[in-house]
């Protein structure tokens, strides 16, 4: 199964909402950090990719119809290269400052917390995520100006690299319309699944989901 949508948007740009929306539209599974957190066998593959090792993406993500959020968005070029009929979905926030505010309230403090000693799989996944954001996003990911600069460069790079007819440039307020138009699908009657707000994130983390899903 080939990916039909390759998500290039960084975490905290509505990627969990997109996961649910794409699964509804495409009738298959969408890879997201939640998937990575539930599949311990994926951690060494992602970690190898972070370190530059080759990955057979068609096999690794063969059961998915789309991929969004970290860690997949850090490899959007590689995924697009092997899924050239896919659309690239760049999710962003209404402003760089809004994105940073969300990051600062969710992912950054979560990644800064220690992992309990009795959770070795969580520790391995955390190490992979930290190395990923450090090397494939920005070494200044904890710093406002450094992170915003990297966010803006990432988005600009995607827009320059992908032909306009293959790119869905999307913000959460756009809901179904641009995605359905690009996929040539009817707009569902149900409301768009806006989920994982800052409050949702904190609530989920407090009941035991230790990995920072976006």
For residue 74, name the pLDDT band (cuts at 50, 70, 90). very high
More confident residue, 200 or 148: 148
Interatomic CA distance for residues 165 and 150, integer angstroms? 25
pLDDT score, position 214: 64
Say whether 48 sits in a helix, a strand or coil: helix
Residue 212 in any domain: the answer is: no
pLDDT score, position 196: 59
pLDDT score, position 1: 76
Say whether 65 sits in a helix, a strand or coil: strand
pLDDT score, position 92: 98
Q: How far out from the chain centre does Cα 206 lie?
A: 21
Q: What percent of the chain lies above the pLDDT cut of 90?
A: 90
**Cβ–Cβ < 8 Å for 168, 80:** no
Residue 84 sits in a domain of what CATH number? 3.40.50.300
Residue 122 in any domain: the answer is: yes
Element (H, E) at 144: helix 144-161
Residue 214 in any domain: the answer is: no
Q: What is the tens place of the pLDDT at every residue in 39-66? A: 999 999 999 999 999 999 999 999 999 9
Region 110-134: mean pLDDT is 95
Read out DSSP for 151-197? HHHHHHHHHHHS-GGGEEEE-GGGTTHHHHHHHT-PPPSSPP-----
Region 18-22: mean pLDDT is 97
According to DSSP, residue 28 is labeled S
Residue 211 in any domain: the answer is: no
pLDDT score, position 198: 46
Which structural domain range is residue 93 located in?
5-206
Region 14-34: mean pLDDT is 97
pLDDT score, position 211: 61
pLDDT score, position 202: 45
- pTM exceeding the 0.85 threshold for the entire prediction: yes
Region 180-202: mean pLDDT is 82
The total number of structural domains that make up the chain: 1
């Amino acid at each position: 199964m080939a990916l039909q949508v390759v998500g290039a948007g960084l975490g905290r740009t509505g990627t969990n909402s997109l996961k649910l929306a794409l699964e509804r539209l495409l009738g298959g599974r969408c890879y997201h950090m939640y998937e990575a957190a539930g599949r311990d066998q994926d951690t060494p593959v992602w970690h190898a990719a972070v370190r530059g090792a080759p990955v057979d993406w068609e096999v690794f993500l063969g059961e998915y119809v789309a991929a969004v959020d970290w860690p997949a968005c850090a490899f959007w070029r590689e995924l697009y290269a092997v899924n050239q009929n896919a659309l690239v979905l760049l999710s962003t926030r209404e402003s760089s400052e809004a994105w940073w505010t969300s990051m600062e309230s969710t992912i950054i403090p979560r990644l800064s917390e220690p992992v309990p000693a009795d959770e070795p799989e969580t520790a391995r996944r955390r190490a992979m995520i930290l190395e990923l954001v450090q090397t494939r996003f920005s070494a200044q990911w904890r710093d406002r100006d450094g992170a915003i600069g990297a966010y803006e460069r990432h988005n600009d790079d995607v827009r320059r690299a992908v032909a306009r007819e293959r790119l869905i440039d999307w913000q959460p307020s756009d809901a179904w319309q641009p995605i359905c138009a690009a996929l040539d699908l009817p707009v569902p009657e149900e409301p768009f699944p806006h989920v994982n707000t800052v409050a949702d994130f904190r609530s989920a983390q407090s009941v035991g989901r230790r990995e920072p899903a976006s």
